[in-house]
Structure 1
């Protein structure tokens, strides 16, 4: 039954000599302020007050009242007019006080329904029709439109969530000419739909690069570097482009939520992404951090700086630091327009923000040439983060090209990146044998007992990056290669690694 119509029918039955007051939320009267009515609940609130000016104590609709008024017309005249007037005024004052109390004291203290109450009710009722959902959604501005997914979305920006690969943004600055043969290096570690980042090329790809490989990172064309050089007065467009790549990477991240770290590298840098995640997870991503590695070659550090991260090996910036650098990159390029090293320029920009490098020995510029197996077989006892300069060194596995060698080492890394190339030295006492193992890469066996202090040093099978007449050449101790192998010594490079399932761990089986 329509309540509004029932009220009207009810009031139409009232005699004209009764005074009534109706308070209705939908039709405010002049006697109640509008702002007061706004605080009344959504339900109809109707207050009907009847005032019988003749002093009747019965309801105006009572049958007995009707009968008595019709059968005894002289009853109203029995009382004096002054008495009736006093009674009427008294009742009017009493009722006015009650109305004042209800309107001023009680009504403001009644709580409203929450703004999305209707939406909450409908969401709890699975039997609601589409029409009902559509009408109710208008009551709440935050409710979803029909057809949109209501599944909760993962909040990548949750500061309490542990750091994972999705929090890293990669930026690689390269050239279209070099990408034709360097593409396999990056594709060996890139994880489509999991790693986030871009390859910044100087020109649009051509030839065998089209159509663009789905195994490669997405590419962008670098901004107009001529304009950057003109505005900054930089002496080297190549350096300006590489440093400006930090701003382009930050801009490419855009509104992506959850970017905590920006990882910069070259188009031939090989990253161990799982190890990178474990590394940055130990730092506070809300603070300024600049993480990277020095060169292995002493003169490279001397020529540029011992306090810089070498960009070929890659370096990591916390997002707040990367954003601060992005905002001031043009001014920094102006200040250091005379520098011809992108890495030293980056270090200088970071230093001006009050930050120094946090060095890590797992980043490898590989400023060495020739056979680098002697270095990789005796890697420092820290997780491997990156490898660089594959084009300048011999393939790290025999009888394969550099691209296949990169994929082979990453195949070993798929089993356990935290162990790859980690040196283990052990002995077999009954036979008096010594073993030096580089996990996932090589094994060296000596049929004699060799001191650990000797075995932990890399074998200098590699050549210097640049001309150097006198040592020291390296930032680490080395041992010279043997002119003739020791009796019974063996150096093994595996062709493949496979995982053997057990209840708890993976035991790699090396096939020679």
Structure 2
């Protein structure tokens, strides 16, 4: 009931009534002998169909600017005892939906933005592989900051103990023998991998919005992960993943399947649903021999489809993937996978050292990591293509962005005996043509000051070709170093890439580029 005591601008609700005190009732399918006779007064608690009680505590109208500002709180009478009071939520409803328009957003109430503490990682590995895959995970794992576990098939061997504080804490995967007998599933290794969803959900639930499942060779970019997941409503059933780069892999499995090494991301409600129903999923499809497909089938059968993201990379490729990474899609980089199946990202380093080196740039600015920016030096007819934090290419010709954004085919498909077309994206051939073959400069170091980030790139090897005669014979052979200057702030998220300018230097061996927002009608060609 509305209290008789008033303070200007404040309304008080008395949750205690001396007659016909309402109770939270069972739902319709539960038996009860309790009466729900309550007063029909504004402010008096009334029973909802879902069993909760609710009361109206205010009637408000929007101001001239269309906004409503409310402050609410709870206080308790000093001479009364209270117990079992649970506040589930607050709702805003229009008086008359036929005459009042209520503007809604994706969430009914403003909540604090998603941060790294809301994300839990579940990583699947083996004790044997951890000996050489450990550096991959430690390159991005942040002790006492990132949440999650590494699930091993057996207890760590003595040479892995004491367990490194720079690694995720480990758990031994559950013994699924009885589960396999009950469901008659034919793939125990795949069941173990999918069952990890249950195990990580069991370990970490408080304050969790997202579960990210990966392998012990999955490299995640957690700052970008936070920014991307903050754009989604974590209260909904959401399943995010990436496709394989190869057509054959997607055809063999499914285009509606997220490939697990790239990272499978589930919102809390979806993970909870999987945890509750996973045994039924195993039993319904006992012959599926792919963990990713088992999970996809499970969530699909509950009405949830894949939300694909171009920043999740399975890397179903072999060989030199520099051509692929140098033309990264216009999407935040979220993951890389299969580092053992490709050449080291930096030819002068081994695979583990290459990943560690790449993370030097990522730890300074993940928002620009591998993002492609293109600019031109018209006087020399040069095109510069920056893959921030990784490579810079110089072309001795003016080449439009529509061409440069297509990856150079420096790599091979996952299935070497597959047939053309190989990839889910277009590719450019690698040619010994001085007008289309790039000079390649590799990331060397990064420095940051108050307003700018400087990344330095050094020539990998001489190109070994003459100058491009069609563009005026302006050779870039003298350039040995490129300095890229970018703002400390994140890029402008207006739907466009960043642009850059070439800054004149007194040293022909050094090229300097400065990144900036593109102008409204600026042509990158």
Structure 1 residues 488, 481: CA separation in 2 closer, same or farther (over 3 Å shift)?
A: closer
Q: Is the 8 A contact 2:235 2:269 kept in 1?
A: yes
Equivalent position to 1:477, from 403, 417, 426: 426
User: Is 1:291 paired with 2:236?
Assistant: no
Q: How many angstroms apart in 2 are the aligned matches of 1:366 and 1:488?
A: 24
Structure 1 residues 461, 488: CA separation in 2 closer, same or farther (over 3 Å shift)?
A: closer
Equivalent position to 2:411, from 447, 462, 467: 462
User: How far has the Cα of 1:388 moved from its partner?
Assistant: 0.1
Q: Residue 227 of structure 2 corresponds to which residue in structure 1?
A: 278
Gaps in structure 1 of 5+ consecutive residues? 1-35, 37-112, 119-138, 143-157
Q: Residue 449 of structure 1 corresponds to which residue in structure 2?
A: 398
User: Is 1:199 paired with 2:136?
Assistant: no
Equivalent position to 1:423, from 372, 377, 386: 372
User: Is 1:361 paired with 2:310?
Assistant: yes
Gaps in structure 2 of 5+ consecutive residues? 1-17, 19-74, 85-108, 459-480, 482-525
Q: Residue 233 of structure 1 corresponds to which residue in structure 2?
A: 184
Instruction: Give CA deviations for 1:378-425 in whole Å, capped at 9, x if unaligned.
Output: 101111010000010110001111111111111111111010000111
Instruction: Give CA deviations for 1:411-466 in whole Å, capped at 9, x if unaligned.
Output: 11111101000011111112211011100100000122123222111111111101
Relative to its length, the structure with more strand (as a share) is 2
Equivalent position to 2:139, from 188, 206, 209: 188
User: How far has the Cα of 1:117 moved from its partner?
Assistant: 7.5
Q: Residue 63 of structure 1 corresponds to which residue in structure 2?
A: none
Q: Secondary structure of the residue that 2:185 maps to in structure 1?
A: coil
User: How far has the Cα of 1:484 moved from its partner?
Assistant: 5.2
Structure number with bigger Rg? 1
Q: How many angstroms apart in 1 are the aligned matches of 2:185 and 2:375?
A: 54
Q: How many angstroms apart in 2 are the aligned matches of 1:306 and 1:486?
A: 37
What RMSD over aligned residues (CA atoms) do the two structures have, in Å?
2.2
Question: TM-score, length-normalised on structure 1?
Answer: 0.68
User: How far has the Cα of 1:469 moved from its partner?
Assistant: 4.5
Q: Is the 8 A contact 1:239 1:342 kept in 2?
A: yes
Q: Secondary structure of the residue that 1:501 maps to in structure 2?
A: coil
5 Å matches for 1:192-271? 192-253=143-204, 256-271=205-220
User: Is 1:508 paired with 2:455?
Assistant: yes
Q: Is the 8 A contact 1:261 1:317 kept in 2?
A: yes
Relative to its length, the structure with more helix (as a share) is 1
Q: How many angstroms apart in 2 are the aligned matches of 1:326 and 1:387?
A: 27
Q: Secondary structure of the residue that 1:282 maps to in structure 2?
A: coil
Q: Is the 8 A contact 1:500 1:508 kept in 2?
A: no
Q: Residue 286 of structure 2 corresponds to which residue in structure 1?
A: 337
Q: Is the 8 A contact 1:309 1:357 kept in 2?
A: yes
Q: How many angstroms apart in 1 are the aligned matches of 2:377 and 2:142?
A: 40
User: Is 1:396 paired with 2:330?
Assistant: no
Q: Secondary structure of the residue that 2:430 maps to in structure 1?
A: coil
Structure 1 residues 377, 117: CA separation in 2 closer, same or farther (over 3 Å shift)?
A: farther
Q: How many angstroms apart in 1 are the aligned matches of 2:429 and 2:417?
A: 17
Q: How many angstroms apart in 2 are the aligned matches of 1:187 and 1:116?
A: 54
Q: Secondary structure of the residue that 1:494 maps to in structure 2?
A: strand
Q: How many angstroms apart in 1 are the aligned matches of 2:220 and 2:119?
A: 12
Structure 1 residues 447, 500: CA separation in 2 closer, same or farther (over 3 Å shift)?
A: farther
Question: TM-score, length-normalised on structure 2?
Answer: 0.66
Structure 1 residues 177, 140: CA separation in 2 closer, same or farther (over 3 Å shift)?
A: same
Q: Is the 8 A contact 2:326 2:370 kept in 1?
A: yes
Structure 1 residues 324, 313: CA separation in 2 closer, same or farther (over 3 Å shift)?
A: same
Instruction: Give CA deviations for 1:67-126 in whole Å, capped at 9, x if unaligned.
Output: xxxxxxxxxxxxxxxxxxxxxxxxxxxxxxxxxxxxxxxxxxxxxx966579xxxxxxxx
Q: How many angstroms apart in 1 are the aligned matches of 2:418 and 2:212?
A: 36
Structure 1 residues 203, 482: CA separation in 2 closer, same or farther (over 3 Å shift)?
A: same
Instruction: Give CA deviations for 1:28-65 in whole Å, capped at 9, x if unaligned.
Output: xxxxxxxx9xxxxxxxxxxxxxxxxxxxxxxxxxxxxx
Q: Is the 8 A contact 1:372 1:396 kept in 2?
A: yes
Q: How many angstroms apart in 1 are the aligned matches of 2:341 and 2:181?
A: 33
Q: Is the 8 A contact 1:497 1:510 kept in 2?
A: no
